[in-house]
Structure 1
Amino acid sequence: MPWTMGAQLALLVLLVTVIVFAQRLFQKFFRNKDEADLWTKVEPIGVSSGGIFSWTRAVTGSAQNQPFILPTMWTGGSVVVLPPSLLHLTKKVYPSMTRHQAKMDHLQLPYMISDHDVIDNLIQFDIARKKLRQAEVVSSLASITEEEIDVAFRKYWGTSETWTSINAWDNCTRVITQAGFRILIGLPLCRNELLLENARLYANYLFKGTSIINCLPPFSRPVLARIISWPSKYYQARCRRILRPLIEQRIREFKDHKAGSQKPDDFLQWLIEHCSKLEAKEMEPDKISDRILVLCIAFVFAMGYIFCSSVLDLYKSSEKITFVAGLVAECKRVSAEHGGLSTKKAVDSLYRVDSALRESMRVSDVGATSIPIDVVSGKVDLGNGIQIPPGMRMVFATQPMHLDPDSYPTPLRYDAFRFSRKYEDTEKSEQELGERELCTTITESFLPFGYGKFQCPGRWFATQTIKQALAYVATNYDIEFDGRQYKRQALLNMMLPPEYVEMSVRRRRV
């Protein structure tokens, strides 16, 4: 059986002392001249080159709108943490900077996936980027995901009107997994419980594995990553076996397709049609399977994380009764106006639901930093005499930005209607209504979906689906927790998913 998270963390604990010692020695004696010069320039901002607690002081007390250096196992050295005032660096393409390698290192995909062509040649992401940013495509998917969400909730959350205890993380991600696979591979295989559970566990172990590998110094990863990546590869192989017959069938049907006959309209079909124009190896069933499974990072884990967090934030709030009542009233009104929530127009009208989701994404980040960018050639001038040399990585401190009291009054409070309230009290002009900050709206103080040239192109589909799921919960279920405080756990800059939170649910009599 695959290793548990506890066993993996135990291995990490055994190694951490030696690793930290080795890292600090390496930094002390082998830091190059340019990096050493950078430290002398940035150090006065609040980071001392010696001592342990100085790093904590640097993060919590550094001067606002100033970069600072943060040590990390991620790169085996340090990263430069950039303030909001430097977000303009993401708005243009600079030859000296790249995000691809930084993103791959962030996910550690070269260690987690055997076929490196799947991550070196990002066909699957190119297709997703092209399709899921088209309004007509996103609109056409609304009725499909609404149907699948209903089926999934009935299966995993149940229809009993008596209280039932379920694991929050497992059963939130199961719903999202089934909805996601409906778009990826279509009916009927998207409802195969064996496939869905293996795909969900694959995505979970992919995240766990990458998080742990990021805690190891780079020189140890070629050996230790082989062990840590084994669970995800185990579930990947199981998914391959289930997907292979469908992919082989789809390839045959594609080759034998006759003009005028109907063909499937899902991601698998888009992928086959695209790959048919490329080298023959791209049409191999296992490669196509691997490309679909890589998308589990977004379609399963990321969307599942956001949905689960939104449920926890909403139903653990001290104002739960008021917030849920407000959501139910809106959902019933919009559903009556549009004949359900099966259209993009209907889902787009759920402003309170949108606000509740955006607020959860603000207070429950998946990471403390984001938008990693590598300097690959030349130097990047940050101003004030600070130049970032090649080989350094830059990130933005998104969590502090999301909790900045200058941007968000009472920033630690989850306020479900923070972004919708001011548009409900009085009549607003079309221009004012157009200034709403929705889930998909990217600002300098809201960066879950990136910024500038590094924006997530699939955010319209993702938020549409998650809003449908959250609206379904609000209108169909009562949820209770046992009163214990849930404390989010961090591993380096990543926030771990709430795997051990139990909740009681019951189907509401509608």
Structure 2
Amino acid sequence: MVLSAIVLVAIFSLAAFSVCTGAARPKKDAPKIWTTLPLVGIGNADYTWLWGKLRSFGPASQPFLVPMLDSGLTVVLPRTLIKAVYGLPERLVDVHGVQDQLMQLRWTFPDAYIRGERLQFNVVRNQLTQNIPRLTRGVAAEIRFGFLRSWGESTGWKEVRVWTSALRIVAGAANGAFCGPPLCRDVVFLDRMKDHAMTIFLGALLLNCLPRALHPILGPIFSCVSGFAARRATRRSLPVVTERLAKTAQWKANPDTDWTPPEDALQWVIDECYTSKDPEAQLLPTRVCQRLLFVNDISMLTTAYAAQNLLLDLFSTDPALRYAETLRQECETALRNAGGEWTHAAVQELRLVDSALRESMRMSPFGTLGLPREAIHPAGIQLGDTPVRLPSRTCMALPLEAIHYDETIYPHATRYDPFRFVTRQGVAEPRVKSTATLDDSFLAFGVPGKWACPGRFFALLELKIFVAELLLNYEVEYLKERPKPIYMMWSRYPPDVKIQVRRRGGCDPECVQGGVASTPMAGVLRGH
């Protein structure tokens, strides 16, 4: 991927040039809003615009402006306005267009059919979510296989890269549900999927930093780079997709054919293609491969990011607190009660694991700012009951990190407390606000309502089993301190961290012999 690196460096250099020329500075005849709202990081001198674009900010109780390298001046909304503004109808506030711009879909997926009919999103929102109980065993099998392949079976300590291994394990599990074997265990396919996702993410980020006047010039270059990465990935999936399409066509022509359609996302995408406006065009093998690639791009990096953060958070706490042992006890109990096999009901019992995941996602949002929207009504939009009215084509975003670290919502917000979301008031079983449940103070999966992440239920299934399999089968050497994320503009990137792991020789004797009494959540687990 040397070519990708060269092109991305070139794009970044031009982006830096556009910053220095003050591309995001409002014009003299700009709407009054740009002079009436507080502006973060900017002084009177021209050169301060350069530094202002690169500075961060803290919590706020009113809208304010921040100059963004990739989207120009952006209005950052406080938590109190999320429902009022983000709940507005699509004719007033745009979601899809902003997301398409963020991913630069015009260049990353130039096929108009892919962008026009988003069949893969229907599959994720409907079939994938509804079939989670059926998919659970397969996902668990792929996660267990992924750990064995990445972390090994040796009971001696072994060094592994957290991000690389988490990404490959999660990708294998996801594709177990997306397309099944042999692709879900094909390391070359999984790594090429990862390469494509990273290429379009970084490329789109840098392309967004450039003035739009340059997009027609540099966009085709970016499209060639992402297209090369896509062809490398689909070269592995094309034979599988072609065979599946042929068998589906035969089965639809003759239902008595000795073949049963698999229950996976690939088959559901094919079924959606048959019901589309132009089935013949949608059913082209390369186009179906592109849709499979699209689903991986969206899910792979975000889920692996959450998995890595949970691992780093958990094993950088004080070992004396025995958080890992408490979670392991819960996993052992749930698996034992399910007869030694992960079922949907067994995963639902992992309430403390759910809380630990929610806490980790709270502490590590994907960026300082996120969930962008754009006011598109010609007359602009009113910001709730405030006197502020945003003009049309104004970009908005939410201060994810500031909200997630707000001490009035989360006391001791900088401390990792895996059981923060557990209700302890003498209940027989711990009650936990599920990670899939969103509110205006937890935005890891988007805002509550229609635009919440449709794949969050499947992602949570993967993450809970990931944590359970890790704790049940491996020991991790504790870190001296929590590695810091890498910041680039508004984004957080996973650090390249190595850890020491080893296969557990068997169940912890302390757990078997009632040692749970020494864990900090013993009262909750026993109902006291």
Do the structures match in fold with TM over 0.5? Answer: yes
Residue 54 of structure 1, CA deviation: 8.6
Q: 1:246 and 1:492, CA in 2 relative to 1: closer, same or farther beyond 3 A?
A: same
Question: Structure 1 residue 218 and structure 2 residue 196: aligned?
Answer: no
Aligned to 2:414: 412
Aligned pair partner of 1:198 in 170, 175, 192 = 192
RMSD of equivalent CA atoms: 2.6
SS in 2 for 1:504: strand
Aligned pair partner of 2:435 in 439, 460, 474 = 439
Aligned to 2:315: 315
Q: 1:213 and 1:53, CA in 2 relative to 1: closer, same or farther beyond 3 A?
A: closer
Aligned to 2:25: 27
Question: Structure 1 residue 162 and structure 2 residue 156: aligned?
Answer: yes
* Equivalent-residue separation in structure 1 for 2:419 and 2:199 (angstroms): 34
Aligned pair partner of 2:250 in 248, 256, 259 = 256
> Are the aligned partners of 1:481 and 1:502 in contact in 2 as well (CA < 8 Å)?
no
* Equivalent-residue separation in structure 2 for 1:188 and 1:13 (angstroms): 38
* Equivalent-residue separation in structure 1 for 2:331 and 2:411 (angstroms): 27
Aligned to 1:393: 395
Q: 1:94 and 1:281, CA in 2 relative to 1: closer, same or farther beyond 3 A?
A: closer
Question: Structure 1 residue 268 and structure 2 residue 266: aligned?
Answer: yes
What amino acid is the match of 1:252? A
Residue 302 of structure 1, CA deviation: 1.4
Q: 1:200 and 1:79, CA in 2 relative to 1: closer, same or farther beyond 3 A?
A: same
What amino acid is the match of 1:19? S
* Equivalent-residue separation in structure 2 for 1:399 and 1:122 (angstroms): 30
> Are the aligned partners of 2:76 and 2:399 in contact in 1 as well (CA < 8 Å)?
yes
CA deviation digits over 1:8-49, x for unaligned, max 9? 67546644542112234x635x36543xx1112213899656
Q: How does 1:289-328 map to 2 (within 5 A)?
A: 289-319=289-319, 322-328=322-328
Q: 1:58 and 1:386, CA in 2 relative to 1: closer, same or farther beyond 3 A?
A: farther
Aligned to 2:119: 123
Larger CA deviation: 450-459 vs 282-291: 450-459
Larger CA deviation: 400-409 vs 300-309: 300-309
Residue 410 of structure 1, CA deviation: 0.7
CA deviation digits over 1:460-500, x for unaligned, max 9? 111011110111111111123664652211222111122x2
Residue 226 of structure 1, CA deviation: 4.1
Q: 1:321 and 1:175, CA in 2 relative to 1: closer, same or farther beyond 3 A?
A: farther
* Equivalent-residue separation in structure 1 for 2:39 and 2:288 (angstroms): 51
* Equivalent-residue separation in structure 2 for 1:54 and 1:187 (angstroms): 50
Larger CA deviation: 176-185 vs 47-56: 47-56
Question: Structure 1 residue 243 and structure 2 residue 237: aligned?
Answer: yes
> Are the aligned partners of 1:478 and 1:507 in contact in 2 as well (CA < 8 Å)?
yes
CA deviation digits over 1:172-203, x for unaligned, max 9? 00000111111111122321222111112222
TM superposition score normalised by structure 1: 0.90
Q: 1:8 and 1:437, CA in 2 relative to 1: closer, same or farther beyond 3 A?
A: farther
Aligned pair partner of 1:474 in 453, 471, 476 = 471
Question: Structure 1 residue 491 and structure 2 residue 488: aligned?
Answer: yes
Q: 1:52 and 1:22, CA in 2 relative to 1: closer, same or farther beyond 3 A?
A: closer
What stretches of structure 2 of length at least 5 have no aligned partner? 507-528
Question: Structure 1 residue 380 and structure 2 residue 375: aligned?
Answer: no
SS in 2 for 1:78: strand
> Are the aligned partners of 2:70 and 2:205 in contact in 1 as well (CA < 8 Å)?
no
* Equivalent-residue separation in structure 2 for 1:132 and 1:49 (angstroms): 53
> Are the aligned partners of 1:47 and 1:69 in contact in 2 as well (CA < 8 Å)?
no
CA deviation digits over 1:354-399, x for unaligned, max 9? 1111111000111222221111122111143211111111111111
> Are the aligned partners of 1:47 and 1:57 in contact in 2 as well (CA < 8 Å)?
no
SS in 1 for 2:263: coil
> Are the aligned partners of 2:435 and 2:460 in contact in 1 as well (CA < 8 Å)?
yes
Q: 1:221 and 1:501, CA in 2 relative to 1: closer, same or farther beyond 3 A?
A: farther
Aligned to 2:173: 179
What amino acid is the match of 1:392? T
> Are the aligned partners of 1:478 and 1:506 in contact in 2 as well (CA < 8 Å)?
yes
* Equivalent-residue separation in structure 1 for 2:2 and 2:30 (angstroms): 44
> Are the aligned partners of 2:313 and 2:482 in contact in 1 as well (CA < 8 Å)?
no
What amino acid is the match of 1:472? E
Aligned to 1:285: 285
What amino acid is the match of 1:193? V
SS in 2 for 1:407: coil
What amino acid is the match of 1:339? G
Question: Structure 1 residue 87 and structure 2 residue 108: aligned?
Answer: no
> Are the aligned partners of 2:12 and 2:206 in contact in 1 as well (CA < 8 Å)?
no
Aligned to 2:368: 368
> Are the aligned partners of 1:185 and 1:268 in contact in 2 as well (CA < 8 Å)?
yes
> Are the aligned partners of 1:314 and 1:320 in contact in 2 as well (CA < 8 Å)?
no
Q: How does 1:21-100 map to 2 (within 5 A)?
A: 21-24=20-23, 27-28=25-26, 30=27, 32-34=29-31, 37-43=32-38, 51=48, 55=52, 60=57, 64-75=60-71, 77-88=72-83, 89-100=85-96
SS in 2 for 1:235: helix
What amino acid is the match of 2:159? S
Question: Structure 1 residue 448 and structure 2 residue 444: aligned?
Answer: yes
SS in 1 for 2:121: helix
- How many positions carry a matched residue from both structures? 494
CA deviation digits over 1:213-237, x for unaligned, max 9? 2333333333334445554332210
Aligned to 2:345: 345
> Are the aligned partners of 2:282 and 2:288 in contact in 1 as well (CA < 8 Å)?
yes
* Equivalent-residue separation in structure 1 for 2:272 and 2:58 (angstroms): 50
> Are the aligned partners of 1:173 and 1:301 in contact in 2 as well (CA < 8 Å)?
yes
What amino acid is the match of 1:190? C
What amino acid is the match of 2:295? L
> Are the aligned partners of 1:201 and 1:235 in contact in 2 as well (CA < 8 Å)?
yes
SS in 1 for 2:438: coil
What amino acid is the match of 1:242? R
Give the fraction of aligned pairs with identical amino acids, expressed as a percent: 28
